[in-house]
Homo-oligomer: A and B are copies of this chain.
Amino acid sequence: MVTVTNKQVIFKQVMPTGLPKKDVTTQLGSVELDIDNVDLAGGVLTRNIACSLDPTMRNRMKGNINYFSPPYQVGKPVTAIGLAEIYRSEMEEFKKGDIVAVWDLAIEEWSVRSKESTVTFRKFDPLPGLSITTYLGAAGMTGMTAYMSIKEIIGDLKPGNTMFVTGAAGAVGQMVVQIARQAGVKVIASAGSDQKVKYLEQELGVERAFNYKTADFNKELAAFGAQTNGINYYYDNVGGEQLEAYINNAARYGVIVGCGYISGYNAEKPEDVHYPKNLFNIVTKELKYQGFIVSSFLPKWMARFLQEIPPMLAEGKIKVSEDVTFGIDGAEDAFTRLFTGETEGKVTVLFDTERAEHFNVKPRKGGNL
């Protein structure tokens, strides 16, 4: 009988506004688990490897707000997109050692899953040489989000056209920027620190980047857009004032991919959220502003994604920047960093730190190892 202490991040309190707080909104907890004998009732026991942390999770902490994903339940572990290894199985589909991507992984080190709940599992074989956490990012949902939303809403990118990308140093943003550059699109990108701006210009090769906290958006966008009579595409992770600035500087028939509205997620009061005061231009410039949730389009675009993006990653045509926190104890702090701008690319948490080398995972530079 092997009993382990199964550490978990528990959702503690509904938090309608403001930044999530460690020990208030969520809390670290643990349960003892006899991993050899726990009753699986026909399901599986997973040894959880890692999970992704995404701003969208913030909205599931707000109680019932009619969000497209259900609210987290007080007293239960927070869930996220994750990776796991099958440790024991009473199902034919899974055997010990299988690696699965899990849509709704509980943030805990071990999980018992009913047979029915494994509908959210997708088995895959990690490529040797790639960090396994890449399958939570560039080769996983992050990459799919960037790739599929561009395909679905913009269609084929036109070389020579211009694109504005906000949250460009974030996980999705970095992928968008590089996919656009590979297609010959000229990119102006914004981020929240001078260091990120430098990274975007020097490492990712965007034509122009600016710090949205200090720059004059309208001036930046007007100058950049002059080459194409306004900016053709806007990949919007942020909303608010930068969305307004894009609309002011959009080209006729401009397209806005609405991937997020992070500027509004943590507002203390509804009136603190900025909404564009120039929607009239959507009509007069014949813009298209379309929202997108990647899960809606997985079947439609998965085959083309797998055909195009992983080879680019393998060939180094697309660079990956990862921000891996080692150990579940750091998950809450890592989640908070999503909103304070201190992240360094795709944010993930490696639970299974003992096997970091086996899975090719390296910790974040400012990391806690």
Residue in B closest to A282 when the chains form the complex, CB atoms: B291
Of the candidates B243, B286, B291, which one forms a contact with A286 in the assembled complex, judged by CB atoms under 8 Å apart?
B291
- Asked whether, in the complex, the Cβ of B283 is within 8 Å of the Cβ of A261, the reply is yes
Residues of B within 8 A of A228 (CB): none
Task: Tell me if A252 counts as interface (CB < 8 A to partner B).
Answer: yes
Task: Decide: A279 and B276 in contact? CB cutoff 8 A.
Answer: yes
Chain A, residues 168-194, CB within 8 Å of chain B (1/0): the string is 000000000000000000000000000
Known: A261-B279, A279-B261. A285 touches B239 (CB 8 A): no
Q: Which residue of B lies closest to A286 (CB)?
A: B291
Q: Is the CB of B288 within 8 A of A288?
A: yes
* Of B68, B279, B283, B288, the contact of A275 (CB 8 Å cutoff): B279
Given A68-B252, A252-B68, A283 contacting B291 (CB threshold 8 A): yes
The reply to whether B288 and A68 contact each other, CB–CB distance below 8 Å, is no
A290 contact set on B, CB distance < 8 A: 282, 286-290
Q: How far is the CB of A17 from chain B (nearest CB, A)?
A: 13
Bits for A243-281, please: 1 = Cβ < 8 Å to B, else 0: 100000000110000111100100000100101111111
* Docked complex Cα distance between A289 and B281 (Å): 12
Q: Which chain B residues border A292 with CB–CB below 8 Å?
A: 283, 286
Interface core residue of A259, A270, A289 (most chain B CB under 10 Å) = A289
* Nearest neighbor of A285 in chain B, beta-carbon distance: B291
Q: Name 15 A/B residue pairs within 8 A (Cβ), A-sorted.
A: A239-B279, A239-B280, A258-B282, A270-B277, A275-B277, A276-B279, A281-B291, A282-B289, A282-B290, A283-B291, A283-B293, A286-B291, A286-B292, A288-B288, A289-B289
Beyond A273-B280, A275-B276, A275-B278, 14 additional pairs, beta carbon < 8 A: A68-B284, A239-B283, A253-B296, A261-B280, A270-B277, A281-B291, A283-B293, A286-B292, A287-B291, A288-B288, A288-B289, A288-B291, A289-B289, A289-B290
